[in-house]
Structure 1
Amino acid sequence: MLSAFLCMLAGIPSTPYQDNSRTLDGDSLEVADSILFDSILASLDTVPASFDSLFSDTTISRGARQAAAALKRDTTVMDSLELAIYLHNKAVDDSLALDSINRQRKHGIDSPVEFSANDSLLYEAGHGMAYLFGNSHVKYQNMDLQSENIYLSLDSSLVHATGARDSVSGKLFGNPVFQMGNDTYQSDTMAFNFKTKKGFIQQVYTEQQEGYLTSQLSKRGANGELYLQHGRYTTCDEPHPDFYLALSRAKVRPGKDVVFGPAYLVVCDVPLPLAIPYGFFPFTKSYSSGFIMPTYGDETERGFYLRDGGYYFAISDQMDLKLLGEIYTKGSWGVSAASNYRKRYRYSGSFYGSYQNSVTGEKNLPDYSKTTSFKIQWSHRQDAKANPYSTLSASVNFATSSYERNNLTSMYNPQTMTQSTRTSSVSYSTSFSSIGMSLSTTMNLNQNMRDSTIAMTMPDLNISISRFYPFKRKHMVGKQRWYEKIAMSYTGHFSNSISTKEDKLMHSNLIKDWRNGMQHSIPVSASFTVLNYINLTASFNFTDRTYTNKIMRSWDGTTEQRDTIYGLYNVYNWNMSLAASTKLYGFLTPPRGFLGGRIQKIRHVFTPQVSLNYAPDFSASRYGYYETYQKTDSEGNVTMVEYSPFQNSLYGVPGKGKTGSIAFDMSNNLEMKMYDRNDSLRKISLIDEFGASMSYNMAAKIRPWSDLSTRIRLKLTKNYTLNMNAVFASYVYEADSVGARPRLSEHTTYWEQGKIGRFQGMSQNLSYTISNEKISKIFKWLRGERDNKKDKDENEPALDDINSIESNVDPDMEKAKHGARKQNAGLAETDEDGYMPFSMPWSVSFGYGITMREDTDVKKFNYNTMRYPYKFTQNLNMSGNIRLSDGWNISFSSGYDFENKKISMTTASLSRDLHCFNMSCSVVLSPYTSYNFSFRCNASTLTDALKYDKRSGYSNSVQWY
């Protein structure tokens, strides 16, 4: 193509050149003038070889050929030198014309415009207008426009797009959808200038991250900003939003922010008296730092306050930092820091620290007080993929005893106000699989909030070696020998701990106040089979302790003196045991006709076990674990006091007395197989386990028999098992006279009196949950209705199914939090007739606990029966849920304290899921009285901006009469 060749020589792109509405290309050059032709020649850097060959191409336009003919007539010498001189002079003479052409190109369309339409396309050459009908599509550079009807004005670079209205239904369809880069706009009518990239839009609808913007009239700037009039901003994705912010004026910078003028909140089409003069919403796809606006209020004890205001630092994509502060008009203040960190496939965690300086009352008055408190929370989790052999985890929750009382957020919170203990731990573990050794260390802290007592262990180091067989051959040949079954393991424990008050912890002495020590345990065991039916297990256990001090005691005539001696002291003990057990089976086949012949067989499994245990008397003087000193009281009585210098040490001291005991244990299991009405065998557990255990110490001189411990376990239903334990004392009470304190006899047992023993007590907890579905199934069974399940008989109660339903609460509602959005919330289900079926799922759980034990008050001892009376301790708890409809949920919990004879903690809450908003209200009735009301947006971008919280303060809680 000649034109392409000329463009290449002139340095002009070979793509079609558009001058307003006239198109120039190599194949269809319709309009061209001699000025343009001369300007092309003037831009040539080299002279063509032949003038005729340059213009002999017939595809060139008529105007271009006329210009070539005129040039040829004016030229007398057609050699290369004369042509070059002519072209140079022509370029100088026509430079002004060339500048004019370039200016026309700059104000025109710079690249091709692609367009298409499904229905028809009409082009008016005289006016430079193009009309596209039916699912039209226009694309220019990075701009893409789709609409039912599009009108193009090529002379002015304007495009106008509208939808169409259905002739039958009258509904509008095919509305314009305009996309430029990452921004997408939907509207009813749109006018846009391709060149200036400015536009005017009616009824615009665009999405910005989690938010949606609409407006009646909008203007788009050249940089993509939108100027809105009578706009709406919402995070609701419904066509008719549940809520929105009505914006009188707004400016939107896509991907950056929305700045608006006067605005007010509208919920469910009801304008609320919540308005602001101006505001903005930031939009960012990456972390960004910024200020956090505080909340305000008043608290009677400390005055007006500004709290939870500060600054957020976006340190990186893996870590952030939030600094907050609070200040009160009466002098109280506080600061806090919170940080989250995460490294993918390695670890994640969070940290929170808070310090408070609380001032109550007026200075120089008796009620004035000033307290400081702090709180530290740290949570760290290591990803399992990071290191399969080493793990580090932390769960720290430490606060001074006065922190929750001074913290406004925690006041009257049932979880914090009733919390009596706090636990913290940091642990690290690693393993060496090649030798089967594992090492772990922890730091533990237990805090009692009632009396500010702290029990701290740091560090607590454990070293263990898994079981191994030291005498086992590496290459097994023949049968296994008896000594190859001997196994042993090792456990080492080092600990350093203290128990003190929280104000004395930092002033304690590591040597004098802390308790430390080291313990080693080496168990050796082996199992054998004797006579093919008896399992025999022998074991030997050795325990060694190492302490750094011991306390020696003496009597100076009036008081006991204690002297701490520092050094390394070794305390060890050992014991051995031998146990034998077997299983005996018994079967009973009932006679024919018994219970209709449905019982096939009853099986009884009896498991007896006998064990022998031996340990020497480590209180003997040769061990040195026990010492004595002589005490002379004020009356001159001389007694010998026995004590152990290691009795207060970390791992204690071996017990006194020789042990040579025989322990007995038996366990019974009773099961039955029977046919149901479908002639299928079913296994029924009659007694899952019934057992008893007791021991006799042959080395004890007094009371060699232990108490009798019994247990029973019954599987009443598929999901409920009844467990009961009871202990019967072996020795009777004795008393020298009426009024004397009873004591246990040293030799007389209840068996000698023909009794099984003295029942000492038991404890049992029962719980059950009922719901509307369980009640429905029970009534269906009572009416004889057949269950849909194939494996159920028509007259058989569906007890398994009834008890398998633990709760009928909507799981989405139960899990919903302020930032969660429930799918299809607020949409009621309808039946085939279009009516909403009545449904109100509910569930109520009951819990009852009872403890029976001896009341060992001496004044209540019965000298006729020689027994203490029994004391009962009971507690009753109840909780429930009611789902009134989709989105409505009520929950409550309460109980009764039988000992204090009053209602225990009672709470009730009401929550409403409004699709995009969440409303919740909770009330504490007993023993504290408080309330909490929250109404906030679910979207994460607005959860801190659009919210309303109201709760009772420390001194303005509601009073119930």
Structure 2
Amino acid sequence: MFTNAFKSILFLSPAMVCTITFGQITENNTNKDNSKIITDSIKLDTVINVKKEQLEFIVDRESEDERHDLKKRTSYFLRNARVTYGDMSIYADYIELNWNTGDVYAEGKRDSIGQIIEPTKFVQGQQEFTQDAFKVNFKTKVGIAYNVRMTEGEGVITADKVKRVNDSIMYMNRAEYTTDSYFKDGKTSDRDYFIRTSPGKLINNGENKTLIAGPTQMFIYDIPTPLVAPFAYIPLGSKRSAGILMPKPGERSDLGFFIEGIGFYVPIGEYWDIKLTGDIYTKGSWGLRTESMYKKNYRYNGGFSASFEKRITGIKGLTSGNNTFNKNDLFHVSWRHQQDPKSNPYTNFNANVNFSSSKFYQNSINTQFIQNNQVYTNNINSSITLNKKFKDSPFSATLSMNHSQQMNQNQNVNTENLNNNITLTAPSLNVNMSRIYPFAPKAGAKKGLIQNLGIDYTLRGANEIRTNDKDIFTKTMWEEQSRIGTNQRMNLTSGVTLFNYFPFSFSSTYNEVWSDRKIQRIYNPLNQRTSDNVIKGFNAYRTFNVSANISTNVYGTFLNSNKEAKIQGIRHVLSPMVGYSFNPNFQDPSWGYYQSYEGANMEEIWYNQYEQALYGISVPQLSNSLTFSLLNNLEMKVKDENDPKGVKKVKIFESLNFSTAYNFSATSFRLAPITMSGNTSFLDRKVNVQFSGQFNPYKLIFEPGKDTGKYIDELALPRLTNFQVGTGYTFDNSTFGGKKFDEKNYSKRGSIRDENFYYDDKNYAHFAIPWSVSANLAYSYNKGSNRNGKSTGTVNLNGKIKPTPYWDISAMTTYDFIENEFTMLNLNFERDLRSFKMSFNWVPMGRYKYYGFMIQIKSSILSDLKYNDRSRSRF
């Protein structure tokens, strides 16, 4: 027994001595192997000589086998080895640790011919590196690695040799960077592209990582390309980094050779950034742009942009012909701000500003507006709004500034001659009081007209300016083109149900207008023209009206006694409504709203002296009208074996409405035109059709030889004067009974790039081919008092198809079936090239013929690295 114990002590004594001597190891394996120690087969660079000192942290390790050299004070860990020191962990097939110097050498697993088949892994914090072999010093954290692979952000960096100076800086030799997602995820060892540089420096400042490289060249599928740069600056961290923006070269016959978008990007603070770019054209045109984005979580977000362009076309000195010299200044300003509603439930501020010169979209030197179809922009609008809700109150207020601008589509018109194409409302104030019921009981239902009496109030006030590009922000705009007005409106409403079947409602409106002007109209017999003199000052006028109506519902039902019949039943719902409205004759001189002047024949002509006032365009005359309307809903039940209930509802008309009015106070044409509107649906409500029209009930007389007639006060068969109809439908794979592609029907799936392909038992590839075609029809017919009507009709087609998993083809066109012509066609082809995306856009007809080809890296880090070829833009 003593002998066995003594033998055990002798057997364990090396491990005990090693533990006492080194004092850093907390765990010891029991696996023993007397085989020869594997030595380093790679010649190592000398790292840095360090002084002998104790390690700062405890070393934790594990392996299938280990050996200790007491003389060299070195430990060897073999097969599936791991060594952890502080926040650093090393995983390798062979690890060598020197306790004196703190040097650690690790090497991957080799095959029979000495090739590395399993690389080592170095982990520090959230960083992970793989390499064939490396050496690091635990004390100084300086190290050298060979054949390194590290994941940084959206991409992967590989390098032949990396020298680690400290936690923040690494130097690399023959480094290659790619954002190939398949290579990053380990699906393939072949990169579709990479950027090669030597030397390189990786700076790690926490979330802000940067790769600074020397001479750089792009390789696509291992083929070198002419894309070479003397240096590169690639931000890799999660934080934004400043950098140069790559330009887009091209050529246009009207502007010459160009580079667009050259500039730089700078993040400013935590919530804001700015991008400055410029466009240069060889024929003299140039442009400057600035863009800025800002965002603060749970508070607000937005962006600002401004641009100025000097467009120069033609040959200097020519005043006529195709090459006439033109020089135009174009500008554009936009601002978008959106407040998070959760930040303040009672106050909300939003802005959407879009202001530009009237020819900006049509004449901009930047061709992005052709690609986005913005060249067809007819008008632009802006608004800045501050909303305020008052807690525990029916009142709310809105303070806003608004802008509306008509864009000039006719290039032959001088912008300076445009007449008041810009409307500014600055400021505008709206105060609203939601409906209250002052006589309603505090508890229980409201009964009678008094308890159901509701009151709501609205106040609108604004300063409106109608101006043009020439007068904008000038003295003329502020003094001559400005109108100030206020409109107050109060509504009284009440209602009851009579005899349980007839809802009755009553309403009255009081309207008051304040204005800063009225007009005095004078006839000048010398030039035989009338002129208006604007009289500034405070003016006010007031109007009111009352109305009442009563309605009900009438049901008509047909039920088929034959249970086997296709049509099981029909239901028709009629909703007639009769109303009455009364307006006093505010055009009577006694109210003081109308004044008169003497015409050419000394006759007295009356006019509304408030017709130029804001909110004061019309003053109502006497109206004593009876209104009629009839709403129809027609549907039926049909037998359907596919329906769980055996029947389904089919709507013939979801709504079909007719309305008119009879004015007892009118001297002629007392019966108003009959209006019609409705909608219905087909194909299980997949196709919705809306239509409307108007009928004139009076007789129309044509004089001989004339195509325009005159209505007389004599009732006749109602005549259709206008009609509109619109519908649309989207066709796709399921429209004609197509089966949905189901990947579960196939046992094999492609690998690497073919992973979206599925293979049957005979190794034929299968994949989904989604497609859709949206067709929207718009037709209108207008006859009025003419003998023959005019029709307009268009069909807008928008189609998309994905013939393979990596191709997207789309087309958009408009066909005028009245003129029998296509007014526009836009074709777009897109190809997914793994790390790249390629697109070709073509507009082969119309005013803006254009083509553009672009190939671009998909990664957001290198999104500005692209090739863009565009055709000449025609204006």
- Whether TM-score is above 0.5 comes out as yes
Please give the secondary structure, in 1, of the residue aligned with 2:561.
coil
Please give the secondary structure, in 1, of the residue aligned with 2:736.
helix
**Residue type of the alignment partner of 1:386:** S
Give the distance between the partners of 1:26 and 1:165, measured in 2 at CA. 30
**Residue type of the alignment partner of 2:603:** T
User: Which residue number corresponds to residue 23 of structure 1?
Assistant: 21
Deviations 1:154-194 (A, max 9, x none): 45544332233578x99966521113455432012223344
Deviations 1:484-530 (A, max 9, x none): 22111111111221222221122224343212211111111110121
- In the alignment, is residue 727 of structure 1 matched against residue 694 of structure 2? yes
Deviations 1:229-283 (A, max 9, x none): 4432112232333221133543333454333344322223443332334333244
Seen in structure 2, the aligned counterparts of structure 1 residues 377 and 22 have a Cα distance that, compared at 3 Å, is: same
Which of 624, 629, 634 is the equivalent residue of 2:597? 629
Seen in structure 2, the aligned counterparts of structure 1 residues 419 and 611 have a Cα distance that, compared at 3 Å, is: same
**Residue type of the alignment partner of 2:463:** N
Please give the secondary structure, in 1, of the residue aligned with 2:735.
helix
Tell me if the contact between 1:19 and 1:108 (Cα under 8 Å) persists in the aligned partners: no
User: Which residue number corresponds to residue 243 of structure 1?
Assistant: 193
User: Which residue number corresponds to residue 90 of structure 1?
Assistant: none
User: Which residue number corresponds to residue 351 of structure 2?
Assistant: 394
- In the alignment, is residue 854 of structure 1 matched against residue 815 of structure 2? no
Give the distance between the partners of 2:640 and 2:318, measured in 1 at CA. 82
| Aligned residue runs from structure 1 range 410-449, under 5 A | 410=368, 412-413=370-371, 415-449=373-407
Give the distance between the partners of 2:638 and 2:673, measured in 1 at CA. 39
Deviations 1:379-412 (A, max 9, x none): 0000111111111111111111243314323464
Seen in structure 2, the aligned counterparts of structure 1 residues 515 and 901 have a Cα distance that, compared at 3 Å, is: farther
Q: Displacement of 1:109 after TM fit?
A: 4.7
User: Which residue number corresponds to residue 492 of structure 1?
Assistant: 459
Seen in structure 2, the aligned counterparts of structure 1 residues 587 and 129 have a Cα distance that, compared at 3 Å, is: same
Which stretch of the first structure deviates more once superposed, 573-582 or 328-337? 328-337
Deviations 1:657-687 (A, max 9, x none): 4211111112222333455336534333333
Give the distance between the partners of 1:331 and 1:725, measured in 2 at CA. 53
Please give the secondary structure, in 2, of the residue aligned with 1:505.
coil
**Residue type of the alignment partner of 2:157:** L
- In the alignment, is residue 539 of structure 1 matched against residue 507 of structure 2? yes
Seen in structure 2, the aligned counterparts of structure 1 residues 733 and 688 have a Cα distance that, compared at 3 Å, is: same
TM-score where L is the length of structure 1:
0.77
| Aligned residue runs from structure 1 range 154-303, under 5 A | 154=99, 157-165=102-110, 174-180=118-124, 183-195=127-139, 197-221=141-165, 225-237=169-181, 238=183, 239=186, 240=189, 241-255=191-205, 256-292=209-245, 294=247, 300-302=253-255
Q: Displacement of 1:107 after TM fit?
A: 2.4
Q: Displacement of 1:414 after TM fit?
A: 5.3
- In the alignment, is residue 907 of structure 1 matched against residue 826 of structure 2? yes
**Residue type of the alignment partner of 1:769:** T
User: Which residue number corresponds to residue 560 of structure 1?
Assistant: 530
Give the distance between the partners of 2:426 and 2:246, measured in 1 at CA. 41
Please give the secondary structure, in 1, of the residue aligned with 2:589.
coil
| Aligned residue runs from structure 1 range 458-537, under 5 A | 458-474=426-442, 480=447, 482-507=449-474, 508-537=476-505
User: Which residue number corresponds to residue 855 of structure 2?
Assistant: 935
Seen in structure 2, the aligned counterparts of structure 1 residues 655 and 140 have a Cα distance that, compared at 3 Å, is: closer
Give the distance between the partners of 1:759 and 1:389, measured in 2 at CA. 51
Tell me if the contact between 1:112 and 1:140 (Cα under 8 Å) persists in the aligned partners: yes
User: Which residue number corresponds to residue 774 of structure 1?
Assistant: 735
Tell me if the contact between 1:573 and 1:654 (Cα under 8 Å) persists in the aligned partners: no
**Residue type of the alignment partner of 1:347:** Y
User: Which residue number corresponds to residue 8 of structure 2?
Assistant: none
User: Which residue number corresponds to residue 585 of structure 1?
Assistant: 555
Seen in structure 2, the aligned counterparts of structure 1 residues 395 and 428 have a Cα distance that, compared at 3 Å, is: same
Deviations 1:296-344 (A, max 9, x none): 5555555555553444343210122233344455554433322222222
Which of 670, 683, 695 is the equivalent residue of 2:634? 670
Give the distance between the partners of 2:345 and 2:823, measured in 1 at CA. 47
Q: Displacement of 1:127 after TM fit?
A: 4.4
- In the alignment, is residue 696 of structure 1 matched against residue 616 of structure 2? no
Tell me if the contact between 1:826 and 1:915 (Cα under 8 Å) persists in the aligned partners: no
Please give the secondary structure, in 1, of the residue aligned with 2:473.
helix
Please give the secondary structure, in 1, of the residue aligned with 2:734.
helix
Deviations 1:516-562 (A, max 9, x none): 21111111111012122111111111111111111111223223243
Which stretch of the first structure deviates more once superposed, 464-473 or 275-284? 275-284
Give the distance between the partners of 1:330 and 1:679, measured in 2 at CA. 74
Give the distance between the partners of 2:75 and 2:703, measured in 1 at CA. 121
User: Which residue number corresponds to residue 710 of structure 1?
Assistant: 676
Give the distance between the partners of 2:659 and 2:249, measured in 1 at CA. 65
User: Which residue number corresponds to residue 92 of structure 2?
Assistant: 147
Q: Displacement of 1:134 after TM fit?
A: 2.9
> Higher strand share goes to which structure?
2
User: Which residue number corresponds to residue 871 of structure 2?
Assistant: 952
Tell me if the contact between 1:410 and 1:417 (Cα under 8 Å) persists in the aligned partners: no
Which of 309, 318, 326 is the equivalent residue of 2:271? 318
Deviations 1:63-87 (A, max 9, x none): xxxxxxxxxxxxxxxxxxxxxxxxx
Please give the secondary structure, in 1, of the residue aligned with 2:341.
coil
**Residue type of the alignment partner of 2:634:** L
**Residue type of the alignment partner of 2:671:** W
Q: Displacement of 1:25 after TM fit?
A: 6.2
Tell me if the contact between 2:55 and 2:138 (Cα under 8 Å) persists in the aligned partners: no
User: Which residue number corresponds to residue 809 of structure 2?
Assistant: 890
Seen in structure 2, the aligned counterparts of structure 1 residues 825 and 319 have a Cα distance that, compared at 3 Å, is: farther
Seen in structure 2, the aligned counterparts of structure 1 residues 639 and 175 have a Cα distance that, compared at 3 Å, is: same
Deviations 1:729-758 (A, max 9, x none): 100113566549621112x111xxxx3x11
Greater RCO structure (CA 8 Å; 6+ sep): 2
**Residue type of the alignment partner of 1:242:** D
**Residue type of the alignment partner of 1:827:** E
Seen in structure 2, the aligned counterparts of structure 1 residues 653 and 358 have a Cα distance that, compared at 3 Å, is: closer
Which of 539, 542, 548 is the equivalent residue of 1:572? 542
Give the distance between the partners of 1:668 and 1:221, measured in 2 at CA. 83
Structure 1: runs of 5+ lacking an equivalent: 1-17, 29-103, 781-804, 809-822, 858-867
Which of 571, 578, 588 is the equivalent residue of 1:610? 578
Tell me if the contact between 2:171 and 2:202 (Cα under 8 Å) persists in the aligned partners: yes
Please give the secondary structure, in 1, of the residue aligned with 2:342.
coil
Which of 843, 850, 862 is the equivalent residue of 1:924? 843
Seen in structure 2, the aligned counterparts of structure 1 residues 608 and 166 have a Cα distance that, compared at 3 Å, is: farther
Give the distance between the partners of 1:774 and 1:900, measured in 2 at CA. 30
User: Which residue number corresponds to residue 795 of structure 1?
Assistant: none
Which stretch of the first structure deviates more once superposed, 496-505 or 360-369? 360-369
- In the alignment, is residue 840 of structure 1 matched against residue 769 of structure 2? yes
**Residue type of the alignment partner of 2:178:** T
Please give the secondary structure, in 1, of the residue aligned with 2:781.
strand
Which stretch of the first structure deviates more once superposed, 220-229 or 507-516? 220-229
Give the distance between the partners of 1:227 and 1:911, measured in 2 at CA. 39
Please give the secondary structure, in 2, of the residue aligned with 1:730.
strand
Tell me if the contact between 1:438 and 1:463 (Cα under 8 Å) persists in the aligned partners: yes
User: Which residue number corresponds to residue 682 of structure 1?
Assistant: 648
Structure 2: runs of 5+ lacking an equivalent: 1-15, 27-48, 409-414, 742-750
User: Which residue number corresponds to residue 337 of structure 2?
Assistant: 380
Tell me if the contact between 1:299 and 1:953 (Cα under 8 Å) persists in the aligned partners: yes
Tell me if the contact between 2:659 and 2:675 (Cα under 8 Å) persists in the aligned partners: yes
Give the distance between the partners of 1:618 and 1:473, measured in 2 at CA. 38
**Residue type of the alignment partner of 1:829:** F
Please give the secondary structure, in 2, of the residue aligned with 1:106.
coil
**Residue type of the alignment partner of 1:503:** K
TM-score where L is the length of structure 2:
0.84
Q: Displacement of 1:293 after TM fit?
A: 5.3
